Structure 1
Amino acid sequence: MSSEPEAIAGLLRSQGQMSFVEPATNADIEAFEARHELPLPSQLKQWLLVSDGGDFFLPAGFQLLGVAHLPLIDVDDPDRPDDSYVVIGALSSGDPVLCERSSERISIYNHEAGRIEDDESFPDFFTFLTGLVAVVGAGEDDVE
């Protein structure tokens, strides 16, 4: 039986072109958290064990950063509203995808509006991933 992150990876692959990265190890994740004194969201950690970053819905969509493989999460990335957030990726629009420190919440920072929109804030990483099709506008409107 597959894990929830593996099932989500399969769902994403069925919906568009993905480029997943070699998985991180538990040791990689623990070392990253210790080095940056930053506990990552639990579901993000589960996902990193399946793919340590990657590109979703190619050619445009979402790029997730990793902890062991480039490009890496930069906990000091200034592309965020304040220090209570960490940039974990970016949409093709350039808007960063954030995790809140000491929280499971994942949000998209709308640069143009200078805020996080209610409909672009998710209770956890798996909810964000499963809603990614709607976020990037892939899927139903694609014509081959």
Structure 2
Amino acid sequence: MRLFSSEVLIQARAASVWHVITDGGNFGVWESGILEADGAVRAGDTVRITPSGGRRSVKLRVRQVSGNVMTWHRRLPFGLWSRTRTFTLTPQSRQTRLTVVEKHRGLLLPFSKHASADLFLDRFTDAVRRRSEILDRATPETRLMQHR
């Protein structure tokens, strides 16, 4: 098994962060590393993700494990290879800790090229942080508080 992870503290509410990581229609708008997502990013659905950089698209199964935990899963048959990306949001007052862990397993693992997965995850979590903080400031609740 290979394990990659990234963690960031976001100055935004968990609801804003959750909105960013489940709003597949806008993945291509911000620097998510994903060119487009075809399908809904919600529990039980399958979404086709096209990574930026010309790599081919992949189908992922989305599962919401609990309130603030979601997984994206892809696998090849017969235990040849699987990848699970787990998103965990931990609310802390008006901040949210986002942890993203990616696990790669299977018989083909020694032949896979995922040496830069940590770098991609770090870029992704940083981009989620930036977008969430911008969107959280733009909520109606926040704008009312700023005008008082």
TM-score normalised per structure 1: 0.33
The higher radius of gyration belongs to 2
TM-score normalised per structure 2: 0.32
The higher-RCO structure (CA 8 Å, 6+ apart) is 2
